[in-house]
Amino acid sequence: MLVDASLCAAACYVSVLLRLGFWPARDAPLPTMIGASIAAALPLFWALGLYREIFSQAGVRAIVAIGRGCSLYTLPFAVVFAVIGVSGVPRTVSLIQPILLFVAVAASRVFARYWLNAPSSTRLSTMRRVLIYGAGSAGRQLAGAIAQSLDMEVVGFVDDSPALSGSVIDGRRIYAPSDLPQASRRLRAHEILLAIPSATPARRKAIIAEACRTGIRIRTLPDLMDIAHGRIGIAQLRDVQIEDLLGRESVAPDVELMRRHIRGKTAMVTGAGGSIGGELCRRLLALEPAVLLLVDINEFGLYELDRALIARNLAGAVRILPLLGSVSDRTRMDEIIGAWRPDTIFHAAAYKHVPLIERNPAEGTRTNVLGVYTLASVAARWRTPNFVLISTDKAVRPTNVMGATKRAAELVLQAMNAAHPATCFSMVRFGNVLGSSGSVVPLFRQQILEGGPITLTDPRITRYFMTAPEAAELVLQAAAMAKGGEVFLLDMGPPVRIADLARNMIELAGLVVKTPETPEGDIEIVEIGLRPGEKLYEELLIGDATSGTVHPRIWKGDEAFIPLDALQPRLERLASLLGPDRRSELIAALGELVPEFQPQGGVSDWVQLESLNPSLGQVA
């Protein structure tokens, strides 16, 4: 208020000077004019809330409020000095002075804002300089949020619109994508923040590839719905994930079809504490079943999932029951299924880590083959309407025990479907899930955090990848379409070279791959050779016969199977070979059951190697 009173006085002096062209005489009635100005302006400004404004946040609305106040102030001031008149004060001053007062008061607020927000030299030295990729509404909102932060400073924008290139937003230039590497170096940027929530996955992938060329850290905002719901802010920034580089357009599932299949019914998920099992449970919860049974032998994983689902089910609309038990335990499975009579069983429980199963083939067979037969038999006994097996691309022409056991599990379900028509048995086959247990992504991420090197078995290896939410949605969609006996194949997009995956993860971390050409790089990629049973390439289809479904990402494979009466003796033989010192026979029996199984090398089982030759077991 003291500042505004001083500005009222200054505006009076300057207005008279502008009108007369010289300083007014000492006996001029300026004190009267100044007193009238202060008496009219300050109470009015107070009433309009100008002194409740936080000056450090003063913006356009504050300037508009000042304009409104000065307009109202002009009326009494003009009445006194223009209509009534005061001797010695030119009448036109009644219009000049309010204009000068508005300019002075508005300028004082703008100055206060920039002075109060100006970072100290200490802050300037520690603030991260960031470039925002995207000069649209999301980018401008992000810049506004950063303006209030104490640790970041926006130094420029990047946008692929030719119409915006070279323009300026709040004093910061907008650069074309081709100028990004040079601009990041010239502006000494520490990070690139992606504010492109509406970009397609393919476009996002291309933008991230461009940004990676700068060699600095890249972070991004979430999807468009977070912007729409007003959740944009610095807290929503996250590191770019490898999922952002898949570059596939998502296909919306038929939610109504899935809900009709699940809503108000009882669903059971085995292996619920795992990556796919847990994601399935989260998606199922959203479809509002009456009861959701979580079955797992992993106590900690089951506890964590139960706690997470309870937090999403605060209203208690879904009855969530965590149940400890092994799918190989017929008595326990019979208890559970008999007590709740689930309408659909999603069987995700399996051992799936290829090298571990290669070293422990008996346990892999016990769970992945005989466990499936046990659970499917119990489901058929209780006439469970639907049973869905989560399979893998490693079941196609397997070269390892894990893949062979998963193909054997598919054969079990195909045989059970033909023998027990009261239960609809189906299978869903897909590749690697990003971030799941056993996936290379968590391993590579940990190796990068530790400073490297990244260990790569073979640079030629390719794999199919998809995200856990995408996989879970397509599993539920396939389950809702099943008629019995189908092997559903999920579209995984093009296969990804693991060497490219490792390189992208290093670059997304803002680091440089260490090679002979770039010896000053940060992380080295080291080739260690293929592990036991590991394939260079994976496939999704055994034969050539496929047919489409109503979903553009799901196909059905037409594959031969063994009738149950012929399959049962082979399963009994597998069960008899789980004992010690019979691993070679077990592998041979798996080969008879799955003719396309082509094991690489001899027996790798740790126990048998140790019993045959202790020193050999230690070397192996």
Q: Domains of the chain: which residue ranges?
A: 2-117, 121-240, 255-606
**453 prior amide bond cis, ω within 30:** yes
Q: Could you tell me the CATH superfamily of domain 121-240?
A: NAD(P)-binding Rossmann-like Domain (3.40.50.720)
Provide the token pair at 267.
């669903």
The answer to whether 352 is a known catalytic residue is: no
Tokens 């939610």 locate to 255
pLDDT at 363: 93
Distance CA 487, CA 455 (A): 34
Quick one: which of 557, 378, 379, 382 has its CA closest to 478?
Answer: 557
End-to-end CA distance of the chain: 84
Mean pLDDT by 10 residues, the chain (620 residues): 87 81 65 82 82 66 80 80 71 80 84 68 64 82 73 83 82 84 84 76 74 74 48 48 57 76 93 89 92 94 93 87 94 95 94 87 93 96 94 85 92 93 90 67 81 82 76 84 85 77 76 80 82 64 63 78 92 88 86 85 71 56
pLDDT at 568: 93
From 265, 394, 406, 514, the catalytic residue: 394
Long-range interactions of 228-235: CB distance < 8 A, separation 24+ = 232/138, 232/141, 232/142, 232/145, 233/142, 233/145, 234/142, 234/145, 234/146, 234/149, 234/152
> Does domain 255-606 fall into CATH 3.40.50.720?
yes
Provide the token pair at 465.
């990848």
Question: Is 392:372 a contact under the CB 8 Å cutoff?
Answer: no
Amino acid at residue number 86: V
pLDDT at 228: 44
Distance CA 458, CA 499 (A): 8
Provide the token pair at 544.
């050539």
How many residues does the structure list for the chain?
620
Quick one: which of 401, 527, 382, 283 has its CA closest to 409?
Answer: 401
Largest CA distance in the chain: 121
Neighbours of 445 (CB within 10 A): 17
pLDDT at 139: 80
Query: What's the per-residue H, E or C state across 579-617?
Result: CCCCHHHHHHHHHHHCCCCCCCCCCCCHHHHHHHCHHHH
Question: Is 34:9 a contact under the CB 8 Å cutoff?
Answer: yes
Amino acid at residue number 305: L
Give the three-state DSSP class for 295.
strand
Distance CA 68, CA 102 (A): 9
**255-606 matches 121-240 in CATH topology:** yes
Query: What's the per-residue H, E or C state across 167-220?
Result: CEECCEEEECHHHHHHHHHHCCCCEEEECCCCCCHHHHHHHHHHHHCCCCEEEE
Quick one: which of 190, 217, 60, 221 has its CA closest to 128?
Answer: 190
Distance CA 444, CA 452 (A): 9
Question: Is 538:431 a contact under the CB 8 Å cutoff?
Answer: yes
Distance CA 454, CA 525 (A): 5
